[in-house]
């Protein structure tokens, strides 16, 4: 009787076994950073819950007291509650906005930069883990964590901001720049782009500190470019008003000026016809009305989603560039 032994190809045999091993190694290697990150997310999330609950309620009550005073000098209201809400809102908003930069710095300085600088990557590749699989493990699991953390913080921030609408007189509007980004999907997309930029910088520079700085700067440049292009990512609406009323319309400003009798749009020499000399200046350019191109509140989600799509496309390109760079450096082993 002849026994036939079937040999399993090494890639198939080692593939499934190496995935969990790589994940365990990744968690063990970056456990301090993961614990610190989890603590920061929990603390910021708790602060946002507190902001949207007791702080908002106390501030709303204080504003009711203040508005009922009717300029009575002896009237009392809880000014500390108003100031406390404003301070906590600002601190938590900027803490949420810092998350993409923290992800980029960690991805560049520790996730890939430190490993390529120390040479531990080549040690891993000699133990049956292909470079492509090593890189995939540095992207997949951190991307899931990044998506979950930033998505949760953006949701909690939006809930806290919504809780103050119509109740707190000093609550910031939707188009306030930090509030706009902290409330939506662009924040999540930027965090994922920061992860991809950090991984690419670590592979490219192979120095932890240099990669950390490069990833943070690259993310800042991307954010600035998206912010500059934001008003033109979706068609604006035009509000036309009389010269006596002045420009009208609230939201993200795209452009404004005057409309002439011929229907041409010109830059306005002034915007308040009641000021001395303004009426004559408007007459000189034959202005008949003011116009203002704006994005109203209804454009919030279209702007968020289009901007998020652009940022995610950049993140995908950075990820592709990282795999191509690794393949070029390692040859067939990266395949």
Residues 166-210 pLDDT 10s: 899 999 999 999 999 999 999 999 999 999 999 999 999 888 899
Residues 220-254 pLDDT 10s: 999 999 999 999 999 999 999 999 888 998 999 99
| Cβ-based neighbours of 327, under 8 Å, separated by 6 or more | 131, 132, 334, 335
Q: What proportions of the chain, in percent to the nearest 5, are helix, strand and coil?
A: 70, 10, 20
292 forms beta bridges with: 239, 256
Average pLDDT score over the chain: 87
- Distance, CA of 323 to CA of 317 (rounded, Å): 10
Examine the pLDDT at 88 and tell me if it is beyond 80.
yes
Q: Write down the pLDDT at residue 52.
A: 95
Q: Output the CA angle 177-142-330, nearest 5 degrees.
A: 120
Which pTM was predicted?
0.86
Examine the pLDDT at 11 and tell me if it is beyond 80.
no
| Cβ-based neighbours of 92, under 8 Å, separated by 6 or more | 44, 47, 48, 51, 157, 160
CA proximity to 122, closest of 113, 134, 110:
134
Residues 90-104 pLDDT 10s: 999 999 999 999 999
- Distance, CA of 229 to CA of 179 (rounded, Å): 18
Residues 26-78 pLDDT 10s: 677 667 878 888 999 999 999 999 999 999 999 999 999 888 886 766 788 88
């Amino acid at each position: 009787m002849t026994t036939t032994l079937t040999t399993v190809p090494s890639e198939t045999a080692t593939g499934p076994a190496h995935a969990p091993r790589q994940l365990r190694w990744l968690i063990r290697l970056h456990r301090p950073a993961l614990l610190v990150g989890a603590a920061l997310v929990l603390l910021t999330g708790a602060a946002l819950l507190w902001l949207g609950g007791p702080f908002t309620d106390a501030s709303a009550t204080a504003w009711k007291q203040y508005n009922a005073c009717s300029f009575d000098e002896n009237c009392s209201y809880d000014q500390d509650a108003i100031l406390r809400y404003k301070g906590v809102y600002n601190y938590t908003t900027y803490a949420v906005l810092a998350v993409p930069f923290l992800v980029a710095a960690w991805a560049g300085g520790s996730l890939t930069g430190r490993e390529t600088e120390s040479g531990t990557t080549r040690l891993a590749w000699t133990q049956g883990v292909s470079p492509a699989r090593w890189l995939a493990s540095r992207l997949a699991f951190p991307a899931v964590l990044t998506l979950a953390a930033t998505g949760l913080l953006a949701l909690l921030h939006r809930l806290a901001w919504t809780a103050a609408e119509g109740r707190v007189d000093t609550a910031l509007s939707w188009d306030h720049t930090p509030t706009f980004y902290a409330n939506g999907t662009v924040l999540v997309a930027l965090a994922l782009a920061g992860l991809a930029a950090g991984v690419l910088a670590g592979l490219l520079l192979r120095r932890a500190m240099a990669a950390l700085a490069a990833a943070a700067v690259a993310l800042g440049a991307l954010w600035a470019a998206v912010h500059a292009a934001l008003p033109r990512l979706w068609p604006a609406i035009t509000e036309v008003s009389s010269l006596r009323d002045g420009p009208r319309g609230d939201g993200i400003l795209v452009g404004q000026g005057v409309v002439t009798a011929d229907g041409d749009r010109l830059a306005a020499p002034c915007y308040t016809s009641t000021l001395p000399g303004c009426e004559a200046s408007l007459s000189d350019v034959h202005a008949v009305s003011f116009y203002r191109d704006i994005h109203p509140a209804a454009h919030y989600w279209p702007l968020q989603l289009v901007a998020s799509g652009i940022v995610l496309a950049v993140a995908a390109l950075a990820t592709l560039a990282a795999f191509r760079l690794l393949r070029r450096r390692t040859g067939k082993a990266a395949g």
